[in-house]
Structure 1
Amino acid sequence: MRGSRSRAVIVDRTPKQEWVKFARSCPGETQVITIDNTASVSLDPLRIFDNPQEAQRFTESFLTLLLGMSPMSDEGIALSEAISSVLAGPQASMRVLAE
């Protein structure tokens, strides 16, 4: 659609980055953000959201999708508790959560 302002956010966990290739083949502008040491954009919801409830919700949503787990599974509940613990600390971040 000409002049479309549509956006899509795709998490690509495929070994050969098939979704990245698909996105780049679509018309319009494509921005690929990698989650590694070379990232130029922060996707850390624990740092970009000021409201702790929003940070909790977005972090859980992002990580359960990225890790392929159900939010209500034992792992999902443990993740939720870990996120709450990190948010209660002085410098909440995904790095602190991973540690």
Structure 2
Amino acid sequence: MVSPSTKEVFIQGITHDGKTFRPSDWAERLAGVMSQFRPGGSRPGSHLSYSPWCIPTTLNGVKCVVVHRDLQNHEPMAWDFVINFARDNNLQVAEACLLPDAPPPKA
């Protein structure tokens, strides 16, 4: 399903049938569950922010969760959980690389 050389996987809120996945806050919920899995492990208060390895976002109007390959290296069971979540819910998965936002144009 996912190439081992890919650095990031995008789980998209669109099923293979083209339907929008519900509930509408699924990406935030999934990323919230994964918030404890982070570089250096869980710390007090870490549940208050998303893990850099599992980030909810919206791309072209579609809710997505960007999952970084480092999650698999450090927490294989957590990686399996998110990949199986996508598979079990028939969600589209794309292998890609999230690029940083472009700096604002200079005046």
TM norm structure 1: 0.30
Q: Which one has a larger percent helix, Structure 1 or Structure 2?
A: 1
Question: Comparing both chains, which one has the higher relative contact order based on Cα–Cα distances under 8 Å and sequence gaps of 6 or more?
Answer: 2
